């Protein structure tokens, strides 16, 4: 798929997601509002009270869904500022704690992370996307080692990491996910917008979003299976 087609496809997805989120939020306003009014009129000991509370709970879950659709519908505009990447990773891990599960071991190791210029909110979103993608892949995610450091992308480096198009200095973020695999077929369409329900936080669009965020920073993203049970997710962000 060429870049123009991919951009058009993401724009179409954005518009659709925004429209659906808007309409669902309207409907949810009615549902949640009337639920609140009904609950005000009910006795807490009434059995039906607990049923209405269940409706309220489901409506709150739906609101969380529409929040994700709104994230998906947003055009990615990047505003770079000096950022502490450690804080960004910590915030993303906090945000995604529920997706990772309590048994997944996480380690972080950042080298030379000072003075990086990036859009902290967008990079946090990209990290959340990687975590969501890893947690929905085949297998059981056992651990994630997150490491980062400055690299010099010379000709040899570009040969090894083909997604990088230009030589230069980058901050390379690597997310080594153990316990999961990606089939060769899935690798062919990895960054294409696709729909996936279930545990996926952004409906299967995680890697498409992640790549767009990296590209808007002037960087790159890639996924490289290391072996049958380990997948490395990469982001390279230019260092000025």
Partner 1 sequence: MDEKRFKAKILVADDEESVREVLKTFFVRKEYDVETASQGREAIEKIESYKPDILLLDLKMPDMDGEEVLKYINDSNLKIGVIIITGHPDFIKDRKLLNRAYDYIVKPFDLDYLNNTVLTKVVLLSE
Of the pair 30, 101, the CB lying nearest partner 1 is at: 30
Q: How far is the CB of 36 from partner 1 (least distance, A)?
A: 5
Q: How far is the CB of 137 from partner 1 (least distance, A)?
A: 31
Of the pair 79, 103, the CB lying nearest partner 1 is at: 79
186 burial class (0-12, 13-18, 19+ CB within 10 angstroms)? middle
Of the pair 14, 178, the CB lying nearest partner 1 is at: 14
Q: How far is the CB of 143 from partner 1 (least distance, A)?
A: 36
Of the pair 34, 49, the CB lying nearest partner 1 is at: 34
Q: How far is the CB of 27 from partner 1 (least distance, A)?
A: 7
Q: How far is the CB of 34 from partner 1 (least distance, A)?
A: 5
81 alpha carbon, distance to own chain's centre: 21
Of the pair 38, 224, the CB lying nearest partner 1 is at: 38
Q: How far apart are CA 68 and CA 63, in angstroms?
A: 9
Q: How far apart are CA 8 and CA 2, in angstroms?
A: 10
Of the pair 72, 146, the CB lying nearest partner 1 is at: 72
Dihedral sign from CA coordinates of 191, 177, 94, 63? positive
Q: How far is the CB of 79 from partner 1 (least distance, A)?
A: 15
Binding site residues, partner 1, CB under 8 A: 18, 21-34, 36-37, 59, 63, 70, 73-74
Tokens of 161: 């990491």
């Amino acid at each position: 798929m060429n870049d123009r087609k991919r951009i058009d496809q993401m724009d179409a997805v954005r518009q659709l997601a925004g429209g659906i989120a808007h309409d669902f939020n309207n409907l949810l306003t009615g549902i949640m509002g009337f639920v609140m009014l009904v609950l005000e009129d009910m006795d807490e000991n009434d059995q039906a009270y607990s049923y209405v509370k269940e409706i309220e709970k489901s409506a709150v879950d739906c609101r969380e869904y529409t929040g994700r659709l709104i994230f998906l519908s947003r055009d990615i505009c990047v505003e770079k500022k000096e950022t502490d990447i450690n804080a960004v990773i910590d915030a993303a891990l906090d945000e995604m704690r529920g997706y990772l599960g309590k048994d997944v071991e996480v380690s972080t190791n950042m080298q030379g992370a000072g003075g990086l210029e990036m859009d902290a909110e967008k990079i946090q979103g990209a990290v959340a996307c990687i975590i969501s993608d890893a947690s929905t892949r085949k297998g059981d995610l056992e651990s994630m080692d997150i490491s980062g450091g400055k690299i010099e992308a010379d000709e040899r480096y570009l040969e090894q990491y083909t997604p990088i198009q230009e030589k230069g200095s980058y901050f390379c973020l690597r997310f080594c996910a153990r316990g999961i695999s990606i089939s060769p077929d899935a690798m062919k369409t990895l960054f294409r917008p696709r729909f996936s329900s279930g545990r996926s936080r952004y409906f299967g669009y995680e890697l498409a979003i992640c790549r767009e965020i990296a590209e808007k920073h002037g960087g790159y993203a890639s996924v490289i299976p290391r072996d049958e049970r380990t997948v490395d997710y990469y982001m390279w962000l230019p260092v000025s």
